[in-house]
Amino acid sequence: MQGLQGFSRGWALCRCLAFFGGGALSVLFAACTGDDPTLTSGKDAGDTDSGVDASLNDGSVSVDAPADGPGVETSVTRPECVRAATVACAPTVLPTGGQPAPKLHLDACALPDLGVERELIPWTPVVGPALANAPTGGGIYCAAGFNQRPAVRFQDSRGYQLASASALDYTDSLVLVAALSYEQRPGVPGSIIFSRSNGTASTGFPGPTLAGNMTYVAPFGSTNIDAAPGIGMQFRLGERPANPAAPTATDSIAVVTTDYRSGPLIVVVRVVPSTSPMQKYELRINGKLEKQVVLDDVFTSTGAGEMLRIGHTSQAENAFFGYLGELMFFTSDRTDYLAIETAMLAKWGVPRAN
């Protein structure tokens, strides 16, 4: 991992532009050269045009507002959503170097400065397919929502979804990286941050599901259902049993903390074949390995055919209450995941855990 230190030191916060044109997502990527890459933004010097529009809504009127243009405010409820960010941030630009690109990348630092609290309709990904709003509306842009940096606020089943999410299917490995904070909500069966699921009680969450306040089966091979205020990821291995309260012994795998983590958090989940036919599941929080499960077989929990949901499901009790600053989802392994983690800790101002 020593070879990655140069990348970590040389990581630059550069401006990249994402916009939709003709239905296709166009992205200006940074260029990386040398062993200790210097990242460039792809913008000409002196170019101040953001090139990014965001749709805003107060529930009745919809407008397109550029970074310095007018917009429609929502009802003001949280101070961090009406004050300006006190720490500047720029979009994350990933070097390639033969590493896979994310299939989905959401970054609040790539949004224009929308000012006061506004509903973000939709949250246009830096990379990935266009997302639709949840039936109850999109998230709320908060300029200082996450550690004094821009973030999107989720509550009351607000969120985003993608009906056809086959691009996010994986085979035997994945990496998810997120900057987030979540609220402890005793008694809920899970606060869904990211899930491949149609979100009904009968099917549960067939695909990989990142959630706080998690209810899950643990340990693997048991039929015990645990409820904890912690955060982590669950991978369902097959069809949910007819009785959700009576899981089978191979119902799911979970890498979840048992205690509440108040945030801000940099969460990394990694699934990778260890030594065939073994498979390793890892949960890292703020630079520390928290949970690891190694299985003597290779399972896939793609959620194929299932909708992608961010911040909500069809059940209001599963709503995510908290902030999401950034999320990257890879459908194959990135061997430089530790360098990405280090860069995310620096970008979002999160101390490394001891």
Q: pLDDT for 153-210, tens place per residue? A: 999 889 998 887 788 888 788 999 999 999 888 877 778 888 876 555 444 555 788 8
- 55-77: average pLDDT: 35
Over 50: is that where the pLDDT of 284 sits?
yes
| pLDDT recorded at residue 345 | 97
Q: What pTM did the predictor assign?
A: 0.74
For a pLDDT cut of 90, what percent of the chain falls above it?
28
**Amino acid of residue 11:** W
| pLDDT recorded at residue 286 | 98
The larger pLDDT score, comparing residue 249 to residue 346, is at 346
- 50-69: average pLDDT: 31
Tally of CB atoms within 10 A around 306 = 21
Lowest mean pLDDT among 54-68, 80-94, 181-195, 203-217: 54-68
Residue 46 tokens read as 């002196």
Over 70: is that where the pLDDT of 103 sits?
yes
| pLDDT recorded at residue 165 | 79
Rounded to a whole number of angstroms, the CA Rg of the chain reads 20
- 52-72: average pLDDT: 32
Q: Give the separation between CA 218 and CA 235, rounded to whole angstroms.
A: 12
| pLDDT recorded at residue 47 | 33
Indicate the domain borders of the chain: 2-13+56-347
Q: Give the separation between CA 240 and CA 11, rounded to whole angstroms.
A: 43
| pLDDT recorded at residue 166 | 81
HSE, CB side, 13 Å, CA atoms: give it for residue 138.
25
The larger pLDDT score, comparing residue 263 to residue 108, is at 108
List strands edge to edge, sheet with 308-310. Answer: 132-133, 160-162, 308-310, 191-196, 209-212, 231-236, 252-256
Task: Return the beta strands (E) in 171-311 as ranges.
Answer: 174-182, 191-196, 209-212, 215-217, 225-227, 231-236, 252-256, 265-273, 279-285, 288-295, 308-310
Tell me: the pLDDT tens digits for 23-47? Answer: 332 222 232 223 332 222 223 333 3
pLDDT bin (cut points 50, 70, 90) of residue 243 is low
3-12, 170-179, 211-220 — which one is most confidently predicted on average? 170-179
Over 70: is that where the pLDDT of 280 sits?
yes
The larger pLDDT score, comparing residue 207 to residue 285, is at 285
- Backbone torsions φ then ψ of 31, nearest 5 degrees: -100, 140
Cα 305–Cα 131–Cα 154 angle in degrees, nearest 5? 105
77-86, 110-119, 229-238, 243-252 — which one is most confidently predicted on average? 110-119
Q: Which fold has domain 2-13+56-347?
A: Jelly Rolls (2.60.120)
pLDDT bin (cut points 50, 70, 90) of residue 72 is very low
pLDDT bin (cut points 50, 70, 90) of residue 268 is very high
pLDDT bin (cut points 50, 70, 90) of residue 6 is very low
Tell me what the pLDDT averaged over the chain comes to.
73
What's the distance, CA 190 to chain centroid? 16
The larger pLDDT score, comparing residue 56 to residue 186, is at 186
HSE, CB side, 13 Å, CA atoms: give it for residue 130.
12
| pLDDT recorded at residue 52 | 32
| pLDDT recorded at residue 195 | 85
- 11-15: average pLDDT: 33
**Amino acid of residue 333:** D
Tell me: the pLDDT tens digits for 255-266? Answer: 888 889 988 999
HSE, CB side, 13 Å, CA atoms: give it for residue 157.
10
- Backbone torsions φ then ψ of 43, nearest 5 degrees: -100, 145
